[in-house]
């Protein structure tokens, strides 16, 4: 690893630590002043309310930070080498705060596979996105028959109707006749953990897919070239329609300019890149700007745990909080 890369990783850890520590230091000392005379039910209520206050404050500081285009891009470039599964832990009296800021512009958004048309109760399967997803499954050594079953079943899970697209798919009839029956959501995924329930997805397949997929708003179909980690080369492998190897993808990622690609056309200046990513879809799928961040916060106080995931979306040139999901562990 190059020295400049090591500096970037250390810079990422320091940057995130300073941001999170500053918030906890500023308001943390005022929290969790719960007396021994409070009942357990009251303690839980007060703990949740004060944890929410800490989360809201951390959200405010995060939003202010990533509202700067320069800081947003720097954070994205740093976190693409920083271990995304290592939250920053800050001790507080009688507990701790775990927090993590992720650039989620580097994954395949499974919700783009289907566009539901509410007024007509119909769906459109986005065939180019479906082809990309199949190539991702293939790059992960998923058996051919599983690729077809999973692809069809995922689109069926999200669409409004109760009719399988083809014999590989699954709707109400399939799931209601399982040993432990349930029904498909007929809606977009809120969390990638939900795909565990989809026909064809074993635990092994889920664990292979997990680093590469996300569940974002349906309209977010781009992937940020500057955010992709060398630990996740399959995104580029799949985008090349499996023409390149994992090592080719790693080399591409590790040889990006230190400041990242400023324009997509800069990426396609290389002859090998042009040949490997020749499709119109590949050229239109990539961007050079981060557009979605996720703040994960877990607060432990005595025996109580409070967990929140906050989504930040770039709309035009403004970052906005668009979602809060409570209860997903880090």
- Write out the DSSP string of 92-136: ETTEEEEEEEEE-TTSEEGGGGEEEETTTTEEEE-HHHHHHHHHH
What's the distance, CA 47 to chain centroid?
A: 28
Is pLDDT at 4 greater than 50 in this prediction? no
Residues 207 and 238 in one domain: no
Please tell me the pTM assigned to this model.
0.84
217 near 237, Cβ under 8 Å? no
pLDDT score recorded for residue 81: 54
Q: Domain boundary at 186, 214, 242, which?
A: 214
Query: Residues 298, 310: one domain?
Result: yes
Q: Indicate whether 112 and 210 sit together in one domain.
A: yes
What CATH number does the domain containing 321 carry? Answer: 3.30.1300.30
Of 214, 239, 273, which marks where a domain is finished? 214
Provide the token pair at 47.
Answer: 């703990």
The pLDDT tens digits of the residues spanning 20-57 come to 666 666 655 555 555 554 677 777 777 788 888 888 88
Share of the chain above pLDDT 70, in %: 83
Structure tokens at 121: 């109760």
* CATH number of the domain where residue 250 is located: 1.10.40
Domain boundary among 197, 214, 231: 214
Residue 30 belongs to domain spanning: 3-103+291-326
- Say if residue 76 is in the same domain as residue 123: no
Q: Where are the alpha helices (DSSP H) in 33-104?
A: 40-66, 69-79
Same domain, 209 and 232: no
Mind listing the pLDDT tens digit for each residue in 249-287?
999 999 999 888 999 999 999 999 999 999 999 999 999
Return the pLDDT at 70: 77
Q: How many residues does the chain have?
A: 330
- b/e per residue, 314-329, with b = 16+ CB within 10 A? beeeebeeeeeeeeee
Please name the residue that has the structure tokens 């470039």.
77
pLDDT of 180 reads 93
Q: What is the pLDDT of residue 14?
A: 59
In percent, the amount of the chain with pLDDT more than 90 equals 49
Query: For residue 176, what is the domain's CATH number?
Result: 1.10.40.60
Mark whether 283 and 295 lie in a shared domain. Answer: no
Q: Are residues 188 and 114 in the same domain?
A: yes
pLDDT band at 208 (very low <50, low <70, confident <90, very high): very high
Mean pLDDT of the chain: 84
Tell me: do 297 and 281 sit in the same domain. Answer: no
8 A C-beta contact, residue 325 and residue 308: yes
**Does 37 or 215 have the greater pLDDT score?**
215
Instruction: Indicate the pLDDT class of residue 320, thresholds 50, 70 and 90.
Output: very high
Domain identity same for 116 and 174: yes
Q: Could you give the number of structural domains in the chain?
A: 3
How confident is residue 100, by pLDDT bands cut at 50, 70 and 90? Answer: confident
Read off the pLDDT of each residue in 122-128 and give the average, rounded to a whole number. 87
- Is the pLDDT higher at 218 or at 317? 218
DSSP 8-state class, residue 193: G
Closest CA to 194 of 284, 8, 328, 302: 328
Q: Taking CA 183 as the corner, what is the angle to CA 177 and CA 189, rounded to the nearest 5 degrees? A: 140
309 closest CA partner among 234, 236, 216: 216
* 3-class SS of residue 311: strand
């Amino acid at each position: 690893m190059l020295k400049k890369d090591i500096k970037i990783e250390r810079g990422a850890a320091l940057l995130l630590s300073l941001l999170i520590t500053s918030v906890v230091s500023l308001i943390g000392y005022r929290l969790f002043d719960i007396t021994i005379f409070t009942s357990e039910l009251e303690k839980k209520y007060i703990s949740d309310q004060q944890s929410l206050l800490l989360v809201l404050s951390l959200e405010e500081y995060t939003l202010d930070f990533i509202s700067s285009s320069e800081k947003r891009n720097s954070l994205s470039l740093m976190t693409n080498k920083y271990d995304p599964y290592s939250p920053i832990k800050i001790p507080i009296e009688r507990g701790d705060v775990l927090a993590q800021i992720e650039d989620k512009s580097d994954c395949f958004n499974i919700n783009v596979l289907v566009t539901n048309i509410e007024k007509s109760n119909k769906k459109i399967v986005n065939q180019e996105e479906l082809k990309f997803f199949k190539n991702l499954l293939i790059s992960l050594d998923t058996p051919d028959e599983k690729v077809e079953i999973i692809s069809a079943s995922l689109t069926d899970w999200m669409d409004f109707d109760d009719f399988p697209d083809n014999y590989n798919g699954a709707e109400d009839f399939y799931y209601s006749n399982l040993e432990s029956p349930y029904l498909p959501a007929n809606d977009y995924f809120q969390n990638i953990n939900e795909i565990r329930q989809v026909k064809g997805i074993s635990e092994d397949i889920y664990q292979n897919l997990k680093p590469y997929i996300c569940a974002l708003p349906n309209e977010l179909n781009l992937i940020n070239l500057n955010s992709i980690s060398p630990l996740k080369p399959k995104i580029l492998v799949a985008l090349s329609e499996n023409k390149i190897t994992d090592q080719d993808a790693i080399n591409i990622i590790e040889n990006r300019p230190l400041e990242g690609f400023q324009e997509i056309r800069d990426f396609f200046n290389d002859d090998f890149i042009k040949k490997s990513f020749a499709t119109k879809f590949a050229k239109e799928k990539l961007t050079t700007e981060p557009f979605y961040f996720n703040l994960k916060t877990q607060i432990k106080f005595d025996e109580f745990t409070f967990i929140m995931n906050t989504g930040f979306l770039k709309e035009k040139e403004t970052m906005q909080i668009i979602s809060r999901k409570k209860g997903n562990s880090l």
